[in-house]
């Protein structure tokens, strides 16, 4: 009788250890999936920010060009040339 109880206790302990290891493995997999998803979201946000910077640079270039065409003042070409260089740098980063 006592030996059956010891075997039952050992079997129950082994099953509980197995369940604990299985749940730990599932948790580990979920955490890795979560980290990967967070990395993808971070990358997407970085791309969105770079695209927004590119759009702003292009808008600055258009504004400078428009100002130059209207006034023929070369001061308006400074934002145009600066925006052109900034846009090229940002597009290179996006690649």
pLDDT at 1 over 80: no
Residue 13 has pLDDT above 90, yes or no: yes
Residue 72, SS3 per DSSP: coil
Burial 6-44 (b: 16+ CB within 10 A, else e): eeeeeeeeeeeeeeeeeeeeeeeeeeeeeeeeeeeeeee
| Separation of alpha carbons 85 and 89, rounded Å | 6
pLDDT of 31-85, one tens digit each? 999 999 999 999 999 999 999 988 888 888 888 888 888 888 888 788 777 777 7
Single pTM value for the model = 0.66
| Alpha helices, H only, the chain | 2-71, 77-94
Q: Maximum CA pair distance of the chain?
A: 105
């Amino acid at each position: 009788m006592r030996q059956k109880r010891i075997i039952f206790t050992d079997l129950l302990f082994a099953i509980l250890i197995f369940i604990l290891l299985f749940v730990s493995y599932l948790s580990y997999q979920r955490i890795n999936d979560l980290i990967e998803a967070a990395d993808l979201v971070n990358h997407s946000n970085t791309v969105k920010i770079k695209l927004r910077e590119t759009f702003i640079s292009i808008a600055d270039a258009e504004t400078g060009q428009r100002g130059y065409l209207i006034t023929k003042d070369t001061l308006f070409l400074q934002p145009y040339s600066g925006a052109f260089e900034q846009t090229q740098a940002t597009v290179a980063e996006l690649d």
